[in-house]
Amino acid sequence: MILSRPSKRIALVKVKDDEPYIPLGLLSIAASCQGIDDIEIDVLDLTFPSHQKKLWGGNYDIVGFTCMAMWEDDVVRIAREIKSICNPVVIVGGPHATTYPDILTTDVIDFIIMGEGERSFPMLVEILKRDEWSHELLDNIQNLGFKHDNKVFLNEIRYSDELSALPFPSYDLIDIGQYQALERDPKFLYYKKNVLQFDYDVEIPYEFSRGCGFNCIFCSTNLIHGSMYRNKPIGKIMNELDCIAHMFKDKKIYLRFVDNDFTRDEKTVHQICNHLKQLNEDGFVIGWYAMGRVSDIDEDLAKKMKQANMKKLLLGGECGYQEGLERVGKQTTILDIRNAVDICLKNDIYTVVTFVIGFPWEDIELCERTINLALELKEKGADTYVYPLIPFHGTPVHNQLSMEGRILKPKSSRDFDLKKPRLFYDHPILKEKDIQCLLNRFWGQAIVKTETGE
């Protein structure tokens, strides 16, 4: 029997990272190509040495990278290396390709896909299969960025109106055992805090909604998935949860809902909770984690989520003073934050609240008010984090600072890391050392409290 090589070999790549996780976006666009004949897709997570080897030796025709802001330098470096080996077509998608389409001017990047990729990526693959393509053909692909005669063309970006047609992500393209092993590697503290903290085997990401309907000045999610909140029909969600439960039935699953606002649609959340409770009663072991909005949390919802085996809830606190919340556009109140935390802790939900300091209008006193609220909630029993503001490309705060000429170019894209106590722009009042002192105060006090068990 003669085995013929598929006409296009495609690698979908996530660069090596210090926080390992299953790249859901790549699994979703891989699934969107299922109807295309004569292609072969590998999803490669370069955190694994075996995947690095596969990329270098795989003789791929198309290499698609998912890219967050902090990965830009790695993506460009690897694209350059792989171009010199087998000269594939290089496509970049994900948050950074969307919010910073200028990345397309890099010589080794041929195409970008901005926003959601499930419609545009398979259309592009179909065209690339022909080995020659015209400007006119590319013009018809929404969300695509391409180059022609040394000029960059960015097509119109469209977001899905509803999610019923989204494909079930190709979880079958990942080796779950590799991720499970990684999660036990002491280097990866992030996972220790999630999967291991609650004694699960492996974290599986899942998404049932997109958009959030708000427009906080520091957030780029609206650009990536659109501003309108919409979710999959409940029947589809239940089917997909069943599929995940069965696919990984020999594992204790730690399900990560990646939705911006899990708690947004009360009816759907109640139905999801009932279903997860039922799956656990049927013998599957599924704990889960989600991100919610403080103003959505009430006693009834918290009880329901706890009964369905919710292990952890992340809430965006953002600011410790009301005027800050208003200027950020969060549309919540300080009272909402305190209430939500009280309710979650009362219902024995492990609650994480994140805050941001260093907004353009803030002085030390305002930042301290945020730190004080974070410490107050920590003292009550929540797990709180305070991060410096990173003005990501395309966000309202970035646009404003950029107009004022205040954005500082980092030495490396890896600096776009919230864990680094940095100032990413020329702040009118604060200096970088102020941010460092403020964060030291938070972490110093936070650690003392935890260590002494106060």
x/- letters, 315..334, toward ligand SF4 (CB under 6 A): -x-------------x----
Are 426 and 410 a contacting pair, CB within 8 Å? no
Are 364 and 193 a contacting pair, CB within 8 Å? no
Binding ligand SF4 by CB under 6 A: which of 216, 294, 373, 375? 216
Going 406 to 414 to 390 to 402, the CA torsion angle's sign is positive
Stretch that binds ligand B12, among 114-122, 129-137, 150-158, 281-289 (CB under 6 A): 114-122
Considering the rule CB under 6 A, would residue 368 count as an interface residue with ligand B12? Answer: no
β-partners of residue 222 are none
Alpha-carbon distance of 199 to 286, in angstroms, equals 11
Considering the rule CB under 6 A, would residue 90 count as an interface residue with ligand SF4? Answer: no
Minimum distance of ligand SF4 from residue 119's CB (angstroms): 22
**Interactions with ligand SF4, residue window 248-307 (CB under 6 A):** 260
Are 357 and 432 a contacting pair, CB within 8 Å? no
Binding ligand SF4 by CB under 6 A: which of 7, 142, 155, 215? 215
Considering the rule CB under 6 A, would residue 391 count as an interface residue with ligand B12? Answer: no
x/- letters, 180..209, toward ligand B12 (CB under 6 A): -------------------------x-x--
Between 66 and 384, name the residue whose CB sits nearer to ligand B12.
66
**DSSP reduced 3-state for 84:** helix
Per DSSP, the chain holds a count of helices (H) and strands (E) of 17, 15
Stretch that binds ligand B12, among 19-27, 128-136, 178-186, 342-350 (CB under 6 A): 19-27
Minimum distance of ligand SF4 from residue 369's CB (angstroms): 19
Binding ligand SF4 by CB under 6 A: which of 66, 98, 120, 221? 221
Q: Residue 168 CA to chain centroid, in angstroms? A: 18
Residue 345 burial by Cβ neighbours in a 10 Å radius (0-12, 13-18, 19+): middle
Tell me which of ligand SF4, ligand B12, none is bound by residue 58, counting a contact when its beta carbon lies within the kind-specific cut-off of 5 to 8 angstroms. Answer: none
**Structure token pair of residue 242:** 């069943």
Considering the rule CB under 6 A, would residue 383 count as an interface residue with ligand B12? Answer: no
Between 91 and 344, name the residue whose CB sits nearer to ligand B12.
91
Binding ligand SF4 by CB under 6 A: which of 91, 144, 219, 337? 219
Nearest to 399 by CA among 68, 100, 144, 106: 100
State the pairing for strand pair 230-231/209-210: antiparallel
Between 7 and 215, name the residue whose CB sits nearer to ligand SF4.
215
Minimum distance of ligand B12 from residue 139's CB (angstroms): 17
Considering the rule CB under 6 A, would residue 413 count as an interface residue with ligand B12? Answer: no
Between 169 and 316, name the residue whose CB sits nearer to ligand SF4.
316
Residue 356 burial by Cβ neighbours in a 10 Å radius (0-12, 13-18, 19+): buried
Nearest to 398 by CA among 66, 96, 19: 96
Between 115 and 347, name the residue whose CB sits nearer to ligand B12.
115
**Interactions with ligand SF4, residue window 44-73 (CB under 6 A):** none
Are 78 and 91 a contacting pair, CB within 8 Å? no
Minimum distance of ligand SF4 from residue 391's CB (angstroms): 14
Provide long-range contacts, Cβ within 8 A and 24+ apart, for 391-394. 391/218, 391/424, 391/425, 392/69, 392/95, 392/99, 392/218, 392/220, 392/416, 393/69, 393/96, 393/99, 393/100, 393/220, 394/98, 394/99, 394/100, 394/220, 394/223
Considering the rule CB under 6 A, would residue 68 count as an interface residue with ligand B12? Answer: yes
Alpha-carbon distance of 352 to 315, in angstroms, equals 6
Minimum distance of ligand B12 from residue 192's CB (angstroms): 13
Alpha-carbon distance of 403 to 408, in angstroms, equals 12
Tell me which of ligand B12, ligand SF4, none is bound by residue 24, counting a contact when its beta carbon lies within the kind-specific cut-off of 5 to 8 angstroms. Answer: ligand B12
Minimum distance of ligand SF4 from residue 92's CB (angstroms): 23
Q: Residue 55 CA to chain centroid, in angstroms? A: 23
Are 86 and 60 a contacting pair, CB within 8 Å? yes
Are 211 and 227 a contacting pair, CB within 8 Å? yes
How many chain residues are in contact with ligand SF4, going by CB under 6 A? 9
x/- letters, 242..261, toward ligand B12 (CB under 6 A): ----------------x-x-
Separation in Å, CA 309 to CA 234, 257, 286, 439, 448 = 19, 13, 7, 33, 31
**Interactions with ligand B12, residue window 206-225 (CB under 6 A):** 207, 219-221, 224-225
Between 103 and 349, name the residue whose CB sits nearer to ligand B12.
103
Between 21 and 248, name the residue whose CB sits nearer to ligand B12.
21
Which positions lie near ligand SF4, rule CB under 6 A?
212, 214-216, 219, 221, 260, 316, 330
Which positions lie near ligand B12, rule CB under 6 A?
12, 17-19, 21, 23-26, 28-29, 64-66, 68-70, 91, 93-96, 99, 113, 116-118, 121, 205, 207, 219-221, 224-225, 258, 260, 392, 417-419
